[in-house]
């Protein structure tokens, strides 16, 4: 795949992510302002974000024509990894070191966006493998 195609994928991915994360971050601030604990708010919104962005990223960002089920399973696995990283960072930086959760979560959105783009490009929505050889005798 060319560098231009990767740039196009990243721009589409960033557009989906930006729109989604603006809405989800505002919801995160609203929930935490309404006394919902920061990790619970992040968890609820993380699940919502995974579900809402799958279709856009599959169809538009990566233009993946593969089977939906396996791609969705890989998508969920990549976001589960992102979730565990996000939770761990909140536990350490907010709960133990006392940093403001609003700033930590804002930075994590950006850091995880890069990780998740790479996972989606090279694993979740990877192009179908094509075989250049056949097995068995050749006539």
Domain layout of the chain by residue ranges: 3-124
| Inter-residue contact 25 to 106 (CB < 8 Å) | yes
In tens, the pLDDT along 19-38 reads 998 999 999 999 999 999 99
Residue 47, token pair as written in the block: 């699940």
The string of pLDDT tens digits covering residues 46-103 is 899 998 899 999 999 999 998 999 999 999 999 999 989 999 999 999 999 999 999 9
129 band by pLDDT with thresholds 50, 70 and 90: low
Q: CA-to-CA distance for 122 and 81, rounded, in angstroms?
A: 15
Of 109, 125, 107, nearest in space to 6 by CA = 125
Q: Decide if 12 contacts 60 (C-beta within 8 A).
A: yes
Crossing angle of the two packed helices 68-89 and 38-56, in degrees rounded to 10: 150
């Amino acid at each position: 795949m060319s560098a231009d195609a990767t740039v196009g994928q990243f721009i589409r991915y960033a557009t989906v992510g930006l729109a989604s994360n603006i809405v989800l971050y505002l919801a995160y601030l609203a929930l935490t302002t309404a006394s919902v604990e920061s990790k619970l708010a992040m968890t609820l919104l993380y699940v919502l974000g995974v579900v809402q962005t799958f279709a856009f990223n599959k169809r538009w960002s990566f233009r993946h024509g593969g089977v939906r089920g396996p791609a969705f399973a890989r998508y969920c696995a990549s976001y589960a990894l992102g979730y565990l990283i996000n939770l761990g960072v909140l536990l350490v930086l907010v709960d133990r070191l006392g940093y403001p959760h609003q700033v930590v979560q804002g930075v994590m959105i950006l850091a995880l966006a890069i990780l998740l783009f790479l996972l989606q490009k090279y694993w979740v929505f990877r192009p179908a493998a094509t075989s250049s050889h056949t097995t068995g005798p050749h006539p």
